[in-house]
Structure 1
Amino acid sequence: MMLPKEYWIEKLGLIPHPEGGYYKELPAANVWLAEQDRPLYTNIYFLLTADSPSHLHALTADEVWYFHYGSSLQVHEILPDGAYQKTTVGLDLAAGDVLQYTVNHGHIFGSSVAAGDDYALVSCMVAPGFTFADFKLFSQAELHARFPQHHELINELAVEKVD
C-alpha cells in the first residue's frame, strides 16, 4: 500500500508551490557563481498531485528531475520549434519510464500525474541555481496564440491568467 501524500507533506515540511504542487527548498551548492549572483545549483523536493500539477512555465537554466516515490510523473514539453514531447519519470522502466530526466532551458513545460493516480514525489535540481527571476509562468491565452496545435495540453496545464 502506498503511503498517503499527507505523510510526505508533513515529514518533508512541504508547502504549496506557486506553479502547483508542494515543495521544500533543499541546501544549494556551496559554490557561488559571483558573476551570475547565484549558487552553482539549487534543489527542491517536489510533490505533484492529480489535482495540483506543475503548470506550463519556462526556466533560463536546465532542470533535472529525479523520481523518488508514488505514481509516475508525466513531463510535458513544448519545444522551441513548437513540437510536443512527453517523458514519463517513474519506476516502470519496462513501460518506458526513466528514473531521471533533464528539461532543457527555454523549453515550455509542466508536469502531471496520470488521471486516476494520486501523487508523485520527485526532486528537482536546477543548474545554474534557480531564482524566481528566471521563472516564466504562461497564461492560456498567451500559449494558445503561440501554439494553437496544443489546445488540450494548454487548457489542462496552463493557468487562466498570470497574476
Structure 2
Amino acid sequence: MTTSIDYWIKNLHLEPHPEGGYFTETTKSEQTLALPQGTRTLYTSIIFLLTSENPSHFHRLKSDETWLYHAGKPLTVHCIFPDGHYEGIKIGPNIEKGETLSFTVPHDTIFGSSVDTGFSIVSCIVAPGFDYQDFELFTQQDLLSDYPQHSQIIEKLAYKEIPKH
C-alpha cells in the first residue's frame, strides 16, 4: 500500500484548506435548517489530511465537528474550551495508549490539530453543516490576550498573520 503524502493528495483529490492541511468535501446534506445566522445544510463532511509541517490552525465554528481517524499517524486535537481550559485529545488507532478513534469538538470551542511526525487522514463531520460564514480563524495576537496561560500551544497553532488565499 502506498502511503506517501503526495499519493493521498493526488488520489483523494485534496486541495489546501485555509486553516491548514488538505481536504475535499465528501458529503453535503440535501436537507437544510433555518438558524439565526441563516439557512445551513443539516451536515457536511470532508476528508482531511494533516502533516507535521501543515497543521490545522486555531479556529472556531458555530457547529459541532466530529473527527474520525482513518490512516497514518495519530493526531492531537488541541481545544481551548469556552470556559478557557485547554485539552489535547489524541485521535488514532492505539486505544491502549489512550487514543480514541473519534472525538467531537463542541461548537464555539477554539481548536486546531497537529501531527507529530508524518501525516494523518481523518474525516470531519460538521452539524449543522459547515459554512465559511460560521468559520473564524485566529492570529496569535487574537488569542494570547485572552489565553496567556496557553501561550505555548497558541504560538504553535495560531497564525502570526492570517494568510491571503
TM-score bin, normalised by smaller chain: over 0.9
CA–CA distance in structure 2, aligned partners of residues 147 and 32 of structure 1: 35
CA–CA distance in structure 1, aligned partners of residues 34 and 95 of structure 2: 40
- Match in the other structure for 1:106: 108
**Residue 33 of structure 1, CA deviation:** 1.9
Q: 1:49 aligns with which of 27, 48, 51?
A: 51
CA–CA distance in structure 2, aligned partners of residues 21 and 162 of structure 1: 15
Runs of 4+ in structure 1 over 4 Å off: none
Distance 1:94 1:2, change over 3 A: farther
- Match in the other structure for 1:15: 15
What SS class does the counterpart of residue 7 from structure 2 fall into?
A: helix
CA–CA distance in structure 2, aligned partners of residues 158 and 152 of structure 1: 10
CA–CA distance in structure 1, aligned partners of residues 161 and 135 of structure 2: 15
What SS class does the counterpart of residue 3 from structure 1 fall into?
A: coil
Q: 2:90 aligns with which of 88, 91, 104?
A: 88
- Match in the other structure for 1:31: 31
Q: TM-score, normalising length from structure 2?
A: 0.94
CA–CA distance in structure 1, aligned partners of residues 17 and 135 of structure 2: 13
CA–CA distance in structure 2, aligned partners of residues 162 and 53 of structure 1: 14
| Structure 2 residue 127 is the aligned partner of structure 1 residue 127 | yes
Deviations 1:9-60 (A, max 9, x none): 0110000000000000112112122554221000000000000000001000
Uncovered stretches (5+) of structure 1, i.e. residues with no partner: none
**Residue 2 of structure 1, CA deviation:** 6.5
Distance 1:152 1:26, change over 3 A: same
Q: CA RMSD in A?
A: 1.3
Q: TM-score, normalising length from structure 1?
A: 0.95
**Residue 162 of structure 1, CA deviation:** 2.7
